[in-house]
Structure 1
Amino acid sequence: MSENKRLLDDESEAFSKAARVKYFNIVVDSGKGATITDADGRMYIDLLASASSTNTGHSHPHIVKAIQDQAAKLIQYTPAYFANNPEVKLAPRLAKLAPISGPVELAWGNSGSDANDAVIKFSRAYTGRPYIVSFTGAYHGSTYGSISISSVSLNMSRKIGPLLPDVVKVPYPDPWQRLKGESDDDFVDRMFKAFKQPFETYLPAEEVAAIVIEPIQGDGGIVKAPTAYINKVVEFAHENGILFAVDEVNQGMGRSGKWWSIEHFDVEPDLMVVGKSLASGMPLSAVIGRKDIMESLNAPANVYTTAGNPVTTAAAMATLDVMEDEHLVERSARLGEKATEFFNQEKSKFKFIGGFRMYGLDGGIDIVDRKTGEPDPEATTKLIYRVFELGAIIISLRGNILRFQPPLVITDEQLDQAFGMLDQAFSELEAGKLTLPDNADEIGW
């Protein structure tokens, strides 16, 4: 019996099925840079980056040393009552990086989930209004507040209601869902009309506290909203005293070729949420916003015993060092161009690649039926499993979208190796050589 199987069999007796989206039956044992190694000693090129939470790669020496040095000095004393040395240095450094003009403040959390909860709390407190508007296809987290504004899987609402009240969801403007012959301008007009419909029928704008959006949706398919649409939404928000909040948990920290995905648009948020790669995967998040908004609540309205603890904030300080010293934002943009060239070539060769999007090292590749052009989840599962067999980790979103998010430190050579594996899997699918794994019905969202 393999070590992977033995460990997973032991875990299965004690682990809830609600706590993991199934893909491959491995136990990750170690990682270095853009590779991970499982319990059987097999190495994989990581094209997922731990769900975009290890943008600086696995076990970066500078970050490891920062964690080790801080752990030897002080692991935890609750920031709920007292500041700690790395935390007081990180707060102004991170606030300065935020794409928000004027005085900026932040509050710590443990995950993107509780940071999105904080957006709800601060926006309601500042505006004195109850309603929150979010978008279909969104993934904001799994706490009751963040899951209430999410809309990417029925299992995030099935059997767990009632969810947070006064949340209204509107359609996300996915440009890949344009009608046949529809121009970009007509698409934006149609989607903005759908956005305004609740406000014109049952949702008083003067009772809405915030509009929360992923400028580039992550788990919704790696999809960037049209700039013209975002501009219209921001203008509407400002005209009606509504706060504009962005979720940068998945798409921030250089993932899209810029520090923050909102920087692809000529707008500023009032509030933003960061997490995942902020501390290279250590449990740390932050809600960042205009000072007047962040001063609208008093403690303990957003206090957590471990949020902003010494080890996680030391890791975040080191993460920012690596991002800056190794120019990872620029590297993401450069390697994203290389990936775009590769997928363009593959699309010209294989009709089942219906389209793709690449923003820095941040891509979604649509796998479709060759004849109908409709989404093909079965072919997608065959592909991700074959790529896994060949030695790389890539997963699917929305059934038929390949999620391409390698660590930003991936080398050109490793990227070329991954492209070779993908091309082989695509070629074998085209030749009818791929089969579904035995547990295909369990795989994916």
Structure 2
Amino acid sequence: MVENNDVLNQEEQHFAGAGRVYYFDVVLDSGKGAILKDVAGNEYIDLLASASATNTGHAHPKIVKAIQDQAEKLVHYTAAYFATSTEAKLASELVKLAPGDEKDWKDWMVVFGNSGSDANDAVIKFARGYTGRTNVVSFVGAYHGSTYGSISASAVSLNMSRKIGPLLPGFYKVPFPSPDKRLPGENDEAFSERMFAAFKEPFENYLPAEETAVIMIEAIQGDGGIMAPPAGYWQKVADFAHDHGILLAVDEVNQGYGRTGKFWAFEHFGIHPDLIAMGKSMASGLPLSAVLGRREIMQSLDAPANVYTTAGNVISAASALATLDVIKSEKLIERSAELGKFAKQFFEKEQATFDFIGDVRLYGLNGGIDIIDPETGLGDEQGTNTIIYNLFKNGVLMISLRGNTLRFQPPLVIKKEELQQAFDVIHKVFAGYQAGELLEPNGRHHIGW
């Protein structure tokens, strides 16, 4: 039998470390639903869903069949030059995901890419092209991708800017209203007002609103810790953008496609963006992204301003059509909302039991659970690493965000009994950590970002 380390030793000779955030010494081999298996035959309950890229689970039969059927007909021909019926059908289905109802579909258009990163690059290009303005505003804690445009808008890790600058000019970061910024006793309205004042400060001092093309947001930050502002905050930002002729773009790459108990995360906040970036689970993990935007914005640029050879690949497009069908027919959005309540009850009970669990944030099957030092209240990165390592050793795959946040994003098809099995393991590991009985992490690399 092949061992994980055999493959890792071979790969390490040729694979550059900048291409992976290391967690565990594991080589995945197969998966079905919410269960993964490594090359040594060990099984894991997946609570990560490939960074929310496989919301429909692993090897879903409908999606596998769609891929197989398309591969027998045509594997690829570039949509940069010629349409395919599969890609054309997908475009017509994606406009139905725009805000509004059927009469509004005609007002939206779509463009394809290969990843969430280039989708956010496209957002920047179309926003600048339409408005004739240059400046781009995003939030601290944002992860928009790793191409030069998207990485210039990101602000979640120093390794996304260290030694690779200068990044693109014209990008400005404003504070995100994360829970740790809330003052003791501060209610939602007061918190929103205070953080909105901080949002406006650059515009009042050095950033002319009339020279700003777009405000890029994650309605619920993903890699920043799975966190959302109070409900009214985004409406204030949206109103500000509208009043100043600034476009509002929502990055739904991580939080879209049913992840939060609604199809789009921005639906929780009652806002209507001008541009929507999508990727990851769009094709159940196959390389595909898109930007959905208002027609007049999407017609502001001409080819080849956003042309990619493999964008709209027919196999990825077939998978994307099957993904939409599975989400609808299996009611995965409703399932995320319902199982999310079950998960929230579990983590809040654990929070009441263990003093090292800080803030708990759940939005559907989508959560961030902070691990803290009980004495200081500060994030405990080493403790978090110990917890996720022992979860891994006990057959539950969960990773961390920003050092001390447990990332909970299982496939939306996970069975309730599988979720309960995972929760039983999590409770056991939490109890072991409290008692000081856990194994310390042991691997070839530092864990996490």
For Structure 1 versus Structure 2, the TM-score category normalised by the shorter chain is over 0.9
Aligned pair partner of 1:412 in 409, 416, 423: 416
Q: Does 1:302 align with 2:306?
A: yes
What is the Cα deviation at residue 307 of structure 1? Answer: 0.4
Deviation at 1:276, TM superposition (A): 0.2
Instruction: Note the alpha carbon deviations across 1:316-355, whole angstroms, 9 max, x for none.
Output: 0000110011000000000000001111111111111112
Alignment identity in percent? 62
| RMSD after superposition | 1.1
| Distance (whole Å) between structure 2 residues aligned to residue 415 and residue 432 of structure 1 | 25
Q: Would you identify which runs of 4 or more consecutive aligned residues in structure 1 move more than 6 Å?
A: none
Alignment partner of 1:92 is 2:92: yes
CA contact (8 A) 1:396 1:402 kept: yes
- Secondary structure of the residue that 2:223 maps to in structure 1? coil
Question: Which residue in the other structure is 2:57 paired with?
Answer: 57
Instruction: Tell whether the 8 Å contact from 1:347 to 1:353 is kept in structure 2 after alignment.
Output: yes
Count of residues in Structure 1 that have an aligned counterpart in Structure 2: 445
Q: Once structures 1 and 2 are overlaid, which stretch shifts more, 151-160 or 343-352?
A: 343-352
1:367 maps to what in 2?
Answer: 371
Of 113, 119, 123, the residue aligned with 2:117 is 113
Q: Which residue of 1 aligns with 2:73?
A: 73
Partners of 1:175 and 1:434 in 2: CA distance: 29
Whole-Å separation in 2 of the counterparts to 1:336 and 1:358: 7
Give 1:439 shift: 4.1
Equivalent residues of 1:118, 1:302 under 8 A apart: yes
* CA distance in 2: counterparts of 1:429 and 1:440, whole angstroms: 22
1:350 paired with 2:354, answer yes
Q: How big is the shift at 1:177?
A: 2.7
Q: After alignment, is 134-143 or 365-374 more displaced?
A: 365-374
- Deviations along 1:121-168, whole A, 9 cap, x unmatched? 000000000000000000000000000000000000000001111000
**Equivalent position SS for 1:224:** coil
Structure 1 residues 133 and 245: CA distance shift in structure 2, 3 A = same
Partner of 2:30: 30
Once the two structures are overlaid, the 10-residue window that deviates more, 144-153 or 180-189, is 180-189
* Distance (Å, rounded) in 1 between the aligned partners of 2:258 and 2:146: 24
Secondary structure of the corresponding residue to residue 216 of structure 1: coil
Helix, strand or coil at the partner of 2:151: helix
The whole-number CA distance in structure 2 between the counterparts of 1:161 and 1:339 is: 41
Cα distance in structure 1, aligned partners of 2:98 and 2:36: 31
Asked if residue 226 in structure 1 is aligned to residue 230 in structure 2, the reply is yes
Letter of the 2:279 counterpart: G
Give the equivalent residue in structure 1 for 2:215.
211
Query: How far apart are 1:99 and its partner, in Å?
Result: 2.1
User: C-alpha distance in 1, partners of 2:222/2:369?
Assistant: 13
Shift in Å at residue 379 of structure 1? 0.9
Q: Does 1:19 align with 2:23?
A: no
Q: Which amino acid aligns with 1:71?
A: A
Q: Distance in 2 between matches of 1:100 and 1:116?
A: 22
SS state at 2:375 partner: coil
Query: Separation in 2 of the partners of 1:13 and 1:190?
Result: 51
Specify the alignment match of 2:287 in structure 1: 283
2:117–2:147 contact (8 Å) kept in structure 1:
yes
Query: 1:429 offset after TM fit, Å?
Result: 0.5
CA contact (8 A) 1:47 1:404 kept: yes
8 Å CA contact 1:108, 1:286 repeated in 2: yes
Aligned-partner SS, 1:223: coil
Letter in 2 for 1:179: L
Structure 2 contact 25–443 (Cα < 8 Å) conserved: no
Whether the 8 Å CA contact 1:175–1:187 is kept in 2: the answer is no
Alpha-carbon contact 1:138-1:214 (below 8 Å) kept: yes
Q: Would you say the 8 A contact 1:131–1:167 is kept in 2?
A: yes
Q: Distance in 2 between matches of 1:309 and 1:322?
A: 20
Structure 2 residue aligned with 1:177, among 173, 181, 199? 181
The one-character-per-residue Cα deviations of 1:62-104 (angstroms, maximum 9, x if unpaired) are: 0001001101110000000111111111111111112257311
Amino acid at match of 1:313: A
- 1:146 aligned residue (147, 150, 155): 150
What CA distance in whole angstroms lies between the structure 2 residues aligned with 1:366 and 1:137? 15
Task: Give 2:8's aligned residue.
Answer: 8
Aligned residues of 2:45 and 2:396 also touching (Cα < 8 A): yes
Residues of 2 paired with 1:436 and 1:11: CA distance?
A: 25
What is the CA-CA distance between 1:227 and the residue it aligns to? 1.8
2:12 and 2:262 map into 1 onto residues whose CA distance is 40
8 Å contact 1:100–1:289 — kept in the other structure? no
1:340 and 2:337 matched = no
Q: 1:100, 1:269 within 8 Å by CA — same for their partners in 2?
A: no
Aligned pairs for 1:379-390 within 5 A: 379-390=383-394
Unaligned runs of 5+ in 1: none
Cα deviations by residue, 1:197-223 (Å, 9 ceiling, x for unpaired): 110111100000000000000000000
User: What corresponds to 2:82 in structure 1?
Assistant: 82
